[in-house]
Structure 1
């Protein structure tokens, strides 16, 4: 249980710190993009049709889609927050393997796919293009410290947003159960209260955050590349 509290404390600290960094608000839409893309990709997997995605300046978003059978809205509604949380694990896994550049490529391709096929409002299109250009520029800079800083900034903002989103959803589910986004959709489809789904999303997000934090701290405990491990170092230690 102590590790769970440490995870929560770290998320709170990361939320405070990332808000202080100039222009960090720009990157909060990365989590929104992943969330909406999660809805879109599951819709396509279930033979549905994605009409369009809209991203907004207040870091909210919406995916308009249609499917043949109403039960399919359940996995589609579950996908947004779940895939958003899992994506943070992917970002920190790539960091733990020293593959920040692969992570930048993944982020850029994600934005490119969305702007080509799904995002259709003017703000969303301009944001995606700006993010692609900025990430591409960072990819080619000769300073590794700048790439690492940029990558971790995006990763930590995604981590924070993936947890704060469901937490805000709990409040919305209690105050306005019919206006709680994905939780309301799931409640309408299953007759289970919206607050239950909000709590489920929060539990998944915190669990993924704990895994992501484990990957981050394990990566920072590795010896520098090119050095020999000290006596007694596990034979299973990753090589850089």
Structure 2
């Protein structure tokens, strides 16, 4: 019977520098831990009020991109301290272009989250970070108020700091955290949308509503606002499932 070398099993040979994701078990543990953290932090009112600003950036970015794709003239974006935002564009007040612009906001965080999750699954973490920085830089050119400027610059600075000073583990953790925030936060934003509509008695007939995207879409499309909320909800849930699967398939 051959001898077994047990040298590597001694505690003297173990150090944090020698540990890798494989020796710790699996990087999937990190993805799951950050999922739990995202659920907890977006579920707590104080932390959600801060983190929701990132979701609002993605939401208003979705409106802006859709407006440009529909040939509308983008007039600027404002982000407010209450985590609300507004994207102004010029063009026909009704029609397909306006409907597409209005519908793009709530799905945007979830769809961006899926895109980031795909990059994580492909082990393109640095690509992900630079794409985030690039998109924020483009968005910055359209910001029209001081708080919006501070929010976008602060978010971009965090990504740049990870690129410059973070190691591979830090970059992966940051990428997964942002992705889960967009995915889980996107769902919570939709839930809040319906709660707000119910509290305000949405669905009133008359002129164009200004309280929510769903009610604006109801006025533009003659389809009930609740239908649009259900569409947003379905996109959010499917995105969470798809994004989670993509991140858990990470294979460096």
TM-score range, shorter chain: 0.7 to 0.9
| 1:236 corresponds to | none
| 1:198 corresponds to | 229
Alignment partner of 1:133 out of 148, 157, 163: 157
Q: How many Å apart are 1:194 and its aligned residue? A: 1.1
User: Could you say what secondary structure the match of 2:152 adopts?
Assistant: helix
Unaligned runs of 5+ in 1: 1-9, 223-239
Alignment partner of 2:87 out of 55, 63, 66: 63
Distance 1:173 1:88 in 2: 25
Distance 1:99 1:75 in 2: 31
Unaligned runs of 5+ in 2: 1-33, 203-208
Q: Is the 8 A contact 1:32 1:59 kept in 2?
A: yes
User: Could you say what secondary structure the match of 1:207 adopts?
Assistant: helix
Q: Is the 8 A contact 2:42 2:185 kept in 1?
A: no
Alignment partner of 2:243 out of 198, 212, 224: 212
| 1:186 corresponds to | 217
Q: How many Å apart are 1:28 and its aligned residue? A: 3.2
Q: How many Å apart are 1:16 and its aligned residue? A: 0.7
Distance 1:94 1:120 in 2: 31
Q: Is the 8 A contact 1:170 1:199 kept in 2?
A: no
After TM superposition, the runs of 4+ consecutive aligned structure 1 residues lying more than 4 A away are 10-13, 17-20, 22-27
Give the aligned CA root-mean-square deviation in angstroms.
Answer: 2.4
User: Could you say what secondary structure the match of 1:54 adopts?
Assistant: strand
Mapping of residues 156-171 of structure 1, within 5 Å = 156-171=180-195
Alignment partner of 2:114 out of 89, 95, 98: 89
Q: Is the 8 A contact 1:180 1:194 kept in 2?
A: no
Q: Is the 8 A contact 1:96 1:216 kept in 2?
A: yes
| 1:30 corresponds to | 54
Q: When the two structures are aligned, how many residues end up with a matched partner?
A: 210
Q: How many Å apart are 1:69 and its aligned residue? A: 5.4
User: Could you say what secondary structure the match of 1:16 adopts?
Assistant: helix
Matched, 1:79 2:110: no
Q: Is the 8 A contact 2:41 2:47 kept in 1?
A: no
Matched, 1:145 2:157: no
| 2:130 corresponds to | 105
Note the alpha carbon deviations across 1:132-164, whole angstroms, 9 max, x for none: 222111102252222222222211111111111
Change (3 A) 1:165 1:40: same
Q: Is the 8 A contact 1:27 1:154 kept in 2?
A: no
| 1:232 corresponds to | none
Matched, 1:115 2:146: no
| 1:41 corresponds to | 65
Q: Is the 8 A contact 1:104 1:135 kept in 2?
A: yes
